[in-house]
Amino acid sequence: MQGDDVESLIKAIIDELTESSARGIAAAVSRLAGNGTIASGQRLPTVRRVAVELGVSPTTVNEAWQQLGYEGTIESRGRLGTFVLPAARVGGPRRYRRVTQRADSFRLDLSTGTPDPTLLPDLRRALSRIGRDDLTSSYLDRPVLPELEQRIRDLLPFDPQALTVVDGALDALDRIATQIVRLGDRVLVENPTFPPLLDLLHQLGAELIPLEIDESGIVAESLAVALRSRPKALFIQPRAHNPTGASMTKARCGALAKLLKAAAVIVVEDDHSGAISSAPDVSLARSLPDQTLHITSFSKSHGPDLRLAAVAGPAALIDALTDRRTLGPGWSSRILQAVLADLLADRVAVGEVAAARDEYARRRRMMSKALDDVGVGYSVGDGINMWIETPHEQETLVSLAAAGVGASPGSPFIIAADGTDHIRLTVGLVADGFEGLAAQLSKAIPAADDRHARRRGR
């Protein structure tokens, strides 16, 4: 970049700047890129140069660049510098795209995070019983079928003020986050956590504060420290945490509720695994009914194509979500709602879902034993995924891919790295051959000492 170009670009940033915070700098650069003042493909000045000219610390500029990177406005190309991206690449599910990009040639694709279709209940009986004309009679009918609402209420671990149904757990997260999070709001999230949630919150301009988790859920001490930042919301997976498998215990739930009771924080619980979770459905809503929204998904238990999840919680928040939805889809298909209501009442279907839950638990146990036998580190408690430790994510993914095994990179799930790489495996898709898969993983994971030696050029 020529000297004159640097000077004019920095002058443009200064003229556009309304505040010298990381968020203010990011907003200024984003506006300049959006209106064409900074052209697509243009290289930005160095962090140090911008910091000097703006009279701020390099850390502040780094934070601004990170925010712009998350949003897809700029891209770092190592020693070549940092460049403005074309407008078509701005935004989008950048983390989620990294998880879902995979080859079609895997003989065993364990990167998907999806349930085993052979363990889903048979829909044919339910479909044959719902041929009722009144399901599609009016745009003005109630958005939730009364029989479905009652059956969902019977499943919940608390008695909510209100309940609605939307098109899956991710749709629920999108609608809730858009409703409660504004630019600059601080939001607490588990570290690691679900990549689409991070993409969504970044696009909303939230400042993400990571929380430490262990096998019992969010660590209370980590939450206590984070609450000092006066956050707007907390997003949590109460059981079968994706990717680690952690589940919140009743004792941990009580400790977290005590901390949250005095804080004006909206809690959003994403029970994404629902009925195939082996852990009990523990909810902060029992102690915090006026500030907790609880999402119950039926995708993994009853079928992804049902596209249904329930959102239960305070009437004021649920009513606002329902009212806003009238300007879009209005309601979720009552035909699909009727199918789900039938499945929740049908003893055969209930038995099929229970059998699937037990089978997933068996697969986790078998895979855990196989990994123990070969000395591979992992974290798993519940759900269909396992969080596998590795000294180097990319080497492990490449090695597995060469053997025809697909896995998800761990980095898109991470907000604050702790020095340990991971991959995520959807072991719920593995019905047998656990010892062979564990042996393949053992070969694909480089020894820490070998990795250290290669870094030093040995």
**408 shares its domain with 375:** yes
Domain of 43, CATH number, reads: 1.10.10.10
Kindly report the backbone phi and psi dihedral angles of residue 19, in degrees, each rounded to the nearest multiple of 5, phi listed first: -155, 150
**Entry pTM:** 0.81
Q: What pLDDT, on a 0 to 100 scale, did the predictor assign at position 448?
A: 55
**217 shares its domain with 229:** yes
**374 shares its domain with 405:** yes
Q: What six digits make up the tokens of 112?
A: 């998907």
Alpha helices in 142-263 (DSSP H): 146-155, 169-180, 195-203, 220-226, 250-261
Give percent above pLDDT 70 in the chain: 91
Split at pLDDT 50, 70, 90, the class of 105 is confident
- Full residue range of the structural domain in which residue 54 is found: 3-89
User: Does residue 39 fall inside a structural domain?
Assistant: yes
**281 shares its domain with 400:** no
Domain of 113, CATH number, reads: 3.90.1150.10
Mean pLDDT of 92-98: 70
Neighbours of 402 (CB within 10 A): 9
Taking only the tens place, the pLDDT of each residue in 314-362 is 999 999 999 999 888 889 999 999 999 999 999 999 999 999 999 999 9
> Given CA atoms 146, 147, 152, 154 in this order, what sign does their dihedral have?
positive
Kindly report the backbone phi and psi dihedral angles of residue 423, in degrees, each rounded to the nearest multiple of 5, phi listed first: -130, 160
Domain termination residue (choose one: 300, 327, 347): 347
Domain termination residue (choose one: 307, 332, 347): 347
Residues 165, 62: contact at Cβ < 8 Å? no
- Domains held by the chain: number: 3
| Weakest mean pLDDT among 50-54, 82-86, 259-263 | 82-86
HSE-CB at 55 with a 13 A cutoff on CA atoms is: 5
Split at pLDDT 50, 70, 90, the class of 269 is very high
Q: What pLDDT, on a 0 to 100 scale, did the predictor assign at position 87?
A: 67
**207 shares its domain with 84:** no
**Which of the pair, 408 or 34, is modelled with greater confidence?**
408
**329 shares its domain with 388:** no
User: Does residue 67 fall inside a structural domain?
Assistant: yes
Domain of 304, CATH number, reads: 3.40.640.10
**206 shares its domain with 343:** yes
Domain termination residue (choose one: 317, 347, 377): 347
Region label for 421, one of left (φ > 0), alpha (ψ between -120 and 50) or beta (otherwise): beta
**192 shares its domain with 316:** yes
Burial of 78 (0-12, 13-18, 19+ CB in 10 A): exposed
Q: What pLDDT, on a 0 to 100 scale, did the predictor assign at position 239?
A: 97
**334 shares its domain with 392:** no
**272 shares its domain with 413:** no
**Which of the pair, 396 or 419, is modelled with greater confidence?**
396
